[in-house]
Amino acid sequence: MTTTIERPEDETSAGSDVPTITADAADGSPELGQASTPETALPAETVDDDVPRAIGSRTQDDVLSLYGSLVGSGALTWLLYYQILPFTGRVGFVLCWFGVFVAMYAGVSAIGNPRLVVIDRVMGAIVKAGALIVFGTLATAVAFTLVRGLSALMNVNFWTEDMSGVRPTSSLGQGGVLHAIIGSMIEVGIAVAITLPLGIGTAVYMNEVGGRMSRVVRTIVEAMTALPSIVAGLFIYTVLIVTFGVSRTGIAAAAAIGVMMLPIIARSADVVLRVAPGGLREASLALGASKWQTVRQVVLPTVRPGLATALILGIARGVGETSPVLLTSGASTFFNADPFNEPMNSLPLFVFSAVRSGEPLYISRGFAAAAVLLILVLILFVITRLLARQRVGRR
């Protein structure tokens, strides 16, 4: 304990002979002096090589007070938490450690620094901890799904068979999710085939044609992005299945996904088209091109990467959304590539029904299907990033 506090104290007393200059500026002279040249010939030197001062650098005081407090608070918290006070549990330990760390870091910093620097350091620690929690959580969610699903993913039959005749308690050597993968692809494929032309066409209409009606369309589209996905599913369920007597099939699920995706795609395509450079548009029109030629040969090619990004993010959303298919598709166990007859399973629905079954083996199948879903989304996402990067490269 005492050592961690003392070391930074020494350091600050060595560096704080210029108290008005902040910590960043104070570091240059003492450190350089100790290392190489004892006499301070600074003015002559700086004129020669006019190197800009590194503004992001850390002084020894910064580094030592950070790591010192980290270690010190860890030790203190361990002692109090596990040895003296009757607490258990890792979550609590980490929380207490962080609390003690912030207090100790503030205390150590306050010894040789003005109040503003102390606040800066404490807030820096809090901001970084928050970011760490967020990215750490994302990592745990991805890793947890992949690890729990690994045992089922390793079986080849998981990728090549369906679940017909396979009981929930059957070993992982039987059955698979091919029907769900195919089902997801067909449903999302139909949904995209409907929503893509409609969504992009609507965006083109709102931006390139305009008129009084287009403002109404934009308002309605923006309003419908607020539609919860379960309500979209319930709408299709009520209209198609209850009222018109369509049975629970792939096409009903595709309609539900489409209703959910249409405002999302139209809205993001609208945002992309809105930021397309107007100068290009005007140049094309000034050269005598018609509006249609301008849209087709200037505007759309310019925003193509952005449109692709919007579309793929919409697809990722549509693939992963469970609630619309929960209401409309019906969970089949068998392979079915016909969206118009018989129920059609899909990945999110399979995951949902598997983890609710309570059978350990079936649950690990569910995790494996979730891992497949996650990998699918990851692939779509990487494609998006590559497309977005292409735009930078082409200009």
Partner 1 sequence: MTILLEPDQHPAEAPDDDQPRSIDPALPPGDRVFHGFAHVIGLSTLVIMGAIGLFLGYQSIPTFRRYGLGFLTESQWQPEQDVLGISAVLLGTATVAVVALAIAFPLALTSAVYISEYAAPRVKSFLVSLIDLMAAVPSIIWGLWGFFLLQPKAIHVAHWLHTHLGFLPFFHVDTDPEAAPWAQSRYAASAFIAGIAVSMMVLPMAAAVMRQVFSQAPPGEREAALALGSTRWGMIRTVVLPFGRGGIIGGTMLAMGRALGETIAVVLIISPAFEIKFKPLEVGTSTVSALIAGRFGEATSSQLSALLTAGFVLFIITLIVNTLAAMIVARSRSGAVTD
Interface positions, 141-180, toward partner 1 (CB under 8 A): 141-142, 144-145, 148
| 390 lies in the binding site for partner 1 (CB under 8 A) | no
Distances (CA, A) of 380 to 141, 366, 387: 18, 21, 11
8 A C-beta contact, residue 351 and residue 370: yes
Question: Hey, how many other C-beta atoms are within 10 angstroms of the C-beta on 258?
Answer: 25
- 19 SS3 class: coil
- 231 SS3 class: helix
Quick one: which H or E segment has residue 319?
helix 300-320
| 186 lies in the binding site for partner 1 (CB under 8 A) | no
Q: Report the alpha-carbon distance of residue 366 to residue 354 in Å, rounded.
A: 5
| 80 lies in the binding site for partner 1 (CB under 8 A) | no
Site string for partner 1, 108-137 (x = CB under 8 A): --------xx-xx--xx-xxxxxx-xxx-x
Q: How far is the CB of 91 from partner 1 (least distance, A)?
A: 6
Q: How far is the CB of 263 from partner 1 (least distance, A)?
A: 7
8 A C-beta contact, residue 271 and residue 362: no
Distances (CA, A) of 320 to 132, 203, 284, 326: 26, 24, 40, 12
Among 216, 283, 287, 379, contact with partner 1 (rule: CB under 8 A): 216
Among 4, 59, 65, 202, contact with partner 1 (rule: CB under 8 A): 202
Q: How far is the CB of 357 from partner 1 (least distance, A)?
A: 12
| 237 lies in the binding site for partner 1 (CB under 8 A) | yes
CB nearer to partner 1: give 76 or 316.
Answer: 316
| 198 lies in the binding site for partner 1 (CB under 8 A) | yes
Strand ranges, E, within 165-277:
none
Interface positions, 279-318, toward partner 1 (CB under 8 A): 290-293, 295, 313, 316-317
CB nearer to partner 1: give 95 or 154.
Answer: 95
Question: Hey, how many other C-beta atoms are within 10 angstroms of the C-beta on 234?
Answer: 16
8 A C-beta contact, residue 136 and residue 129: no
CB nearer to partner 1: give 110 or 227.
Answer: 227
Residues 6+ apart with CB under 8 A from 96: 77, 80, 81, 87
Interface positions, 12-41, toward partner 1 (CB under 8 A): 22
Among 110, 375, 377, 383, contact with partner 1 (rule: CB under 8 A): 377
Count of residues binding partner 1 (CB under 8 A)? Answer: 100
Q: How far is the CB of 36 from partner 1 (least distance, A)?
A: 29
Q: How far is the CB of 38 from partner 1 (least distance, A)?
A: 30
Interface positions, 341-360, toward partner 1 (CB under 8 A): 348, 351-352, 355-356
Planar angle of CA 260, 265, 269, nearest 5 degrees: 160
- Classify 50 in phi/psi space as left (phi over 0), alpha (psi -120 to 50) or beta: beta
Interface positions, 244-263, toward partner 1 (CB under 8 A): 259, 262-263
